[in-house]
Each structure stands twice: as structure tokens, then as C-alpha cells.
């Protein structure tokens, strides 16, 4: 069994745009000629020709996590319990594109590498908060019956 990092091959990203061919009355689908892949590591991002763009995206993400969510604190290693795993993090880089394949922005997400934790040692239970549609309908009905206002929020930071 192969236990390497790239155990499952990922397809090469491809984008297509619709073009109007002057020689016919039909639209043709043409592949976009130059799609560059996103960096996989910090080193790749910082050595690319888009270094400044990636650095700004990473800085914006880090500052948002630190200031908006207060998730970073400095801990002395001596306070970490013996045998505990310190969960590392990494940036996930993404070039945002529109339907025509044109670059619309660059995004960096700072994610915890929870896949390095061990069941029964670093954690005992997992939980993914997902609401049933029947629960949502019930809450909306209660809000409507009692004249309450309903607010929705979208958390755009990644917690893996």
C-alpha cells in the first residue's frame, strides 16, 4: 500500500471559454491556453512571480484570524502536556477566476492540519454542526409566529 503524500492523483485543472468562431454560426468551446497552478507550499508561493500578491493574501488571512477571531496566543512549550500533539497549520492558496477564466483575485486560507492528530490520544470525539432542514423550518416558523427577526451569517474562515 502506498502511504505517500500524493496517494490519490488529482486531475489537472482545465478551464474552457465559449468563443464565437468567425467561420461558422455556432459557438465553439475552446480551452483556456494558460492556466497556472496554485502554489502548494509557502516556499512555492514566496518564490513565484506573484510573491507580493500571495504575501498580501497571507497577511490579510493571518490578521483576520488574529484580530477578528482571537485564535493566536503564544504558549510556552513547557505548558504543553506530555505526549500531546501540537497541531501545525499551513496556507492553502487559491487563484479566483470568473466564468471566462480571468483572474479575479487571490486567496490564502490558514488551515489547521488536524489530519496529524491521533484518535484517542489528541481527541476523543468529533462533531460537525449540520442543521436539518426540518429544524431550520421550525425555527423560521417560531420566529414568524413571534414576530422575531432572523439574521444569517456566513463565516468565511476555514476550520479543518
pLDDT in the model for residue 160: 44
Q: Confirm whether 8 is domain-assigned.
A: no
Q: Confirm whether 47 is domain-assigned.
A: yes
Q: Confirm whether 154 is domain-assigned.
A: no
Q: Confirm whether 35 is domain-assigned.
A: yes
Contact 58, 45 (CB under 8 A): yes
pLDDT in the model for residue 31: 52
Q: Which residues of the chain have pLDDT under 70?
A: 1-36, 121-122, 154-160
Q: Confirm whether 5 is domain-assigned.
A: no
Residue environment code for 57-74, b if the CB has 16+ CB neighbours within 10 A, otherwise e: bbeebbeebeeeeeeeee
Q: Residue 66: phi, psi to the nearest 5?
A: -70, -50
Q: Confirm whether 69 is domain-assigned.
A: yes
pLDDT in the model for residue 52: 96
Distance in angstroms (rounded) separating the CA atoms of residues 88 and 121: 16
pLDDT in the model for residue 123: 72
pLDDT in the model for residue 20: 54
pLDDT in the model for residue 21: 53
Q: Confirm whether 82 is domain-assigned.
A: yes
The whole domain housing 30 covers 16-145
Q: Confirm whether 156 is domain-assigned.
A: no
How many domains does the structure of the chain reveal?
A: 1
Cell digits of residue 17: 471559454
pLDDT in the model for residue 33: 46
Amino acid at each position: 500500500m502506498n502511504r505517500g503524500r500524493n496517494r490519490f492523483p488529482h486531475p489537472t485543472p482545465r478551464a474552457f471559454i465559449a468563443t464565437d468562431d468567425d467561420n461558422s454560426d455556432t459557438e465553439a468551446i475552446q480551452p483556456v491556453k494558460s492556466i497556472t497552478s496554485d502554489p502548494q507550499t509557502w516556499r512555492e508561493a514566496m518564490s513565484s512571480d506573484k510573491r507580493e500578491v500571495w504575501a498580501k493574501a497571507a497577511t490579510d488571512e493571518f490578521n483576520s484570524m488574529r484580530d477578528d477571531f482571537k485564535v493566536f496566543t503564544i504558549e510556552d512549550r513547557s505548558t504543553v502536556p506530555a505526549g500531546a500533539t501540537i497541531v501545525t497549520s499551513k496556507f492553502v492558496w487559491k487563484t479566483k477566476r470568473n466564468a471566462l477564466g480571468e483572474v479575479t483575485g487571490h486567496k490564502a486560507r490558514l488551515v489547521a492540519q488536524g489530519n496529524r492528530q491521533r484518535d484517542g490520544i489528541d481527541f476523543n470525539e468529533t462533531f460537525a454542526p449540520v442543521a436539518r432542514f426540518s429544524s431550520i423550518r421550525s425555527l423560521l416558523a417560531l420566529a414568524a409566529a413571534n414576530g422575531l427577526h432572523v439574521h444569517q451569517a456566513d463565516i468565511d474562515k476555514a476550520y479543518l
